[in-house]
Copies of this chain bind each other. A is one copy, B any other.
Amino acid sequence: MASDSRTNAGVDYISTYRKMFDLSLPGERSIIICNSGSLSVSQGVLTRVNRDIQAQEAKNLHTIGNMYDIAQYIGNKSREIQEQDRPWLEKDGIDYSCNFLLGGQIKGEEPQLYLIYPQGNFIQATPETPFLQIGETKYGKPILDRTISYETPIEDVAKCALLSLDSTMKSNISVGPPINLVMYEANSFEMNNKLELRIGAPYIAKIRKLWEQSVRHAFESMPDIEWIQDLNDSEEDIFLD
């Protein structure tokens, strides 16, 4: 899983907030949550989720028996906060929607990945569509669509996630570093591979340069376009004939 850290309240108020949280119980369950959208709602959800763990509530992230029920639990937290804040935010036309990614594994289950919608309902990644995105998804989707399948080696997937985020950062200033990245190996129940790439991180600079070279090389190596020289061959002039 990979996330950026930029939050904005309009272009004139940009700040940095982590959007990836490790809520694992090492050895037992590995749980990563990423968020996008309304910062007040998503912070509220994460604080309440964590409070339940600290208070050892009967139902918390470390006791709920399976990932499906955890997705529902997070969706319900989001609904709780919306019930409380929504009328006030709606009055001023403020977007309070917020999405979550929930990924990881509980002992006895396969690894799973969920996307929890602002309405609290959720979907799961499948072999046919093995990745999920939230937030500013479009700039980075083409690179994922071209490269990620269920069979892609996990190290390649991690690189591709970085490239996808880097493409998005390049095209949209509302997405920015640090980038957080975790790579979870199934059945390890440890989050051994994690990374935070800050502004100017040499690795980011390196992959950006390599990627730009590849993109340039790709279109330079494209076969020349065979233009239609004779205007009359075209069906184009539908207005001027």
Residue ranges of A at the interface with B (Cβ–Cβ < 8 Å): 18, 20-24, 46, 50, 53, 138-143, 145-147, 155-156, 158-160, 162-163, 167-168, 170-171, 180-181, 183, 191-196, 203, 206-207, 210-212, 214-229, 231, 234-240
Judge whether B168 and A142 touch: CB under 8 Å: yes
Judge whether A236 and B139 touch: CB under 8 Å: no
Judge whether B21 and A239 touch: CB under 8 Å: yes
Judge whether A215 and B170 touch: CB under 8 Å: no
> What residues on B are CB-neighbors of A24 within 8 Å?
240
In the assembly, what is the distance between CA of A239 and CA of B21, in Å? 8
Report if A167-B155 is in contact (Cβ < 8 Å); known contacts: A18-B238, A214-B217, A215-B214.
no
In the assembly, what is the distance between CA of A189 and CA of B203, in Å? 48
Judge whether B143 and A215 touch: CB under 8 Å: yes
Report if A196-B240 is in contact (Cβ < 8 Å); known contacts: A163-B219, A223-B203.
no
List 19 interface pairs A-B (beta carbons < 8 Å), by A numbering: A18-B236, A18-B238, A24-B240, A138-B139, A140-B142, A141-B171, A142-B142, A146-B170, A146-B211, A155-B224, A181-B225, A192-B227, A192-B229, A194-B227, A194-B231, A195-B226, A207-B223, A214-B215, A215-B218
